[in-house]
Amino acid sequence: MKFDNASVVAKANIYFEGKVVSHTVVTSEGEHKTLGLIYPGSYHFGTEAPELMEIISGNCQVVIDGKEDTLSISAGSSFEVAGKCGFTITVEDCICEYVCSFLTN
């Protein structure tokens, strides 16, 4: 995945004592995205806006708030989360690389 004509915020977004790290990208069309790494562990995130999480490398297990099913997501796959919701993401034995796109309502 490549973003042409985009701006990158150099200051990292660091969560869970450095176990999840991302950088913000703003495309020439004004889309906001983050791209980052998730180290092994289990982490819960809340969402303000709807999100599309694309897994670029590695694999993870995801449980979206209010749902019973565990989604198995691997490289080349994605999942969506509604705004004002949340999800728990678990990475077991690798570093998971992702791109998160913030969607409009």
Pair type for strands 71-74 and 59-64: antiparallel
pLDDT digits (tens, 9 = 90+) for 32-65: 999 999 999 999 999 999 999 999 999 999 999 9
User: pTM to 2 decimals?
Assistant: 0.93
Domain boundaries, the chain: 7-102
Backbone angles phi, psi at 97, to 5 degrees: -105, 140
Tell me the pLDDT tens digit for each residue of 60-99. 999 999 999 999 999 999 999 999 999 999 999 999 999 9
The CATH number, out of the four listed (2.60.120.10, 1.10.260.40, 2.40.37.10, 1.25.40.10), of the domain defined by the range 7-102 = 2.60.120.10
Handedness of CA 69, 80, 22, 66 (dihedral sign): negative
pLDDT value for 105: 58
Cα 45 from Cα 77, distance rounded (Å) = 19
Q: How crowded is residue 61: how many other Cβ atoms within 10 Å of its Cβ?
A: 14
